[in-house]
Structure 1
Amino acid sequence: METTRTLWLSRDGESEPTGPFTEGQILTMWNAGQITANGMVAAEGDEEWVPVVQLTERRSVPPPVPQAPKRSSFSITRVLTGVVFFFGLLLVLTIFSVSGRKDPRLERVEQEQKREALSKAWSAGLLGEKIRQFEASPRVQELKREMEAEQARELAKHKQMPKAPPPALGQ
């Protein structure tokens, strides 16, 4: 059962007194850690200030247990793990990106070799022979015949057209 006497409170024993509070309110603040162990209380009308601890001992409420400082999530192990992971990932990505690509210098050499081989083939007449084989193929021959037939039709059509007499001079 809570007593109804009113108390004044200095939270750290040096600050300006605040209140009035009931004992229950002071105990609640004590349990919440809002009052330090140096806090002082005085009953209304009393001149004597007593430590808050005496009030809490009478009420058999243990003093608040100081909380351990929160551990930072930052640790050297996490940092090193992150760094190793980052560089490992970078290495893997580099290997994959390089493996599919040729060295530009190698590509240039291959292009020069192809040009040189083409030039030699042309000069040796091998390419000319390939062109002659293409022109002699049945499909190309058929296309040539179709084009010649079309030209002949056009020429015949042009010959059959009546010619208009030339205009008379001086008329």
Structure 2
Amino acid sequence: MKKIFFIILIILFSPSIVFSQAKKEKNVNTDPKNVFSRPYDYVNDFEKIMNADQITTLTNTLKAFEKKHLYKITVVTTSTIEPYTSFPDYALELDKYLAVDPKLDPTILIVVSKQLRQIQVQSIDLIRYKLSDNDTQNIITTYAVPEFKKGDYSKGLELAVEQIMNKLKVY
């Protein structure tokens, strides 16, 4: 089971999958305005996997980091990716949707689904020299996944965000 999960993580973070998205025909169901019509903040727990104190703590951490270092990190949990058929497609479209509004536009977007057992990290190209795809994959597999397996999604997200922030502060 661990091998399958690890293989899925490798596939999710493979640049060839992330950047070779097939263009979908627009219809009412895949219009981002219809799919992503909720309000978004630093932490968006639509799957309800964290309690209010955990959300507040993580939100305050992310706000303080953005204020000091000007990198906005947004976390979204979701139980469904409908009408999208792949998690990377969903995360990419959500990132594009958020990028339209300068107040919402994240430097890094972390999308997690406990129900689907998936995690995807989207980042802008300008920070690749600080946080590569390999760095991101290592952070997720080393810090987030072990806590997710224990059922502590808040701790896993907190540790992963902390490591991402440390990488962004280096330079």
TM-score interval, smaller chain: under 0.3
TM-score, structure 2 normalization: 0.20
TM-score, structure 1 normalization: 0.20
Greater C-alpha Rg = 1
